[in-house]
Amino acid sequence: MIDKQALIDRFISYVTIDTESDPNSDTTPSSEKQWDLARILADQLKAMGMEDVSIDDNAYIMATLPSNVAHKVPTIGFVSHFDTTPDFTGKDVKPQLIENYDGGDIILNKEQDIVLSPDYFDDLLQYKGQTIITTDGTTLLGADDKAGITEIMEAMQYLLAHPEIKHGPIRVGFTPDEEIGRGAHKFDVEKFGAEWAYTMDGSQIGELEYENFNAAGAVVTIEGKIVHPGYAKGKMVNSMYIAIDYMNSLPRLETPEHTEDREGFFHLYSIDGGVDNTTLEYIIRDHDKDHFEARKKMMIQLASELNAQLEKEVVTVEIKDQYYNMREKVEPVMHIVDIAEEAMKALDIKPLIKPIRGGTDGSQLSFMGLPCPNIFAGGHNFHGRYEYVPVESMMRAVEVIVKIAEITAQKKM
């Protein structure tokens, strides 16, 4: 039986440490404060009895739970990240514990009238009668991915305390900077030494994912010409008007708020503009590689068309690929997904096998030689004030980790 209170205490101790990553930093980790939790995790792994515990100069943490069987078993891994997104503040997190949730509105912050309501977030109704951890409405919670960290730590603690559960060698890996797309950049796959791994970085209970977006970032720069407005006729070029033309030329319904499942999108997430210069920042996402390439081509073609109309080179587009769909690396070793699915079914958890509308460390790790499907960590509404996680979902995630280890040891590979 998983110790519910110990899990709650561990999770709260992690989320109250600020580990927000910084996309404007070139260091690894990108923020010094990520070290605060990284060092604690390394010390806790050592204290619980894990072996080969290491923390490198970039705050990547690895540890080993040795095999307790005589026969050869593949080395598997479990990976999570300890940074939180810079999209919304993770400083001074004040978790709130709602026990025996009644299915109604949850008042996050009475003074500011911030309410987590099932009328808007209907997933809440799945967890009636359970214990839910929320924010106080002024910060994110950090279940992405401190829930995953908690679950891996609790699973290792449980396996150490229960040697009657037979398992092969297990590697644990904790990473910085996943939220800014760098979580796997300096991950030493060879040192990790696992044949495959699982990221504990999904959302609702039952999620099992081995497909993710192909992803790129695009910066569109429009150069204008500023002149005194009283003398501007035939001389001024207002970059903001050209930017509006560019934005409106992209398919309006192919945006995050209008798409689902495997549908791709263009997402404009930042505008910085004036008459003289406007910059648009986009992310481009698509599960299909051909569609992904077509989206990039469309953005470049639109710039060319506007430049032709204006008879001058005023619009430029810079596109950088970020990560790719892990499906092509996981499908040749689908038994690793089958094991996770078998583990969930053995625990009476309905597997929800679906594509990730995002990316995880696992997508990059898969292309680095470590096939790495993604498993639920339990949280909902990541990256904002309405984030929450049911404690029972975290407990089930711990059980899934344990069961995967047990099933892997029983397989003949």
Residues noted as catalytic: 83, 178
Q: Return the SS3 of 260.
A: coil
**Residue found by looking up tokens 């070029």 in the block:** 237
CB neighbour burial string for 312-343, b if at least 16 within 10 angstroms, e if fewer: eebbebebeebbbbbbebbeeeeebbebbbbb
Cα separation, 224 vs 315, whole angstroms: 9
CA angle 94, 84, 22 (to 5 degrees): 120
Place of tokens 């081995």: 210
Q: Which amino acid is at 41?
A: L
Cα–Cα distance for residue pair 367/388, rounded to 1 Å: 31
Residue 21's Cβ-count burial label (10 Å; 0-12, 13-18, 19+) is buried
Are 387 and 138 spatial neighbours (Cβ–Cβ below 8 Å)? no
Residues 6+ positions from 400 with CB-CB distance below 8 Å: 340, 343, 344, 347, 349, 375, 376
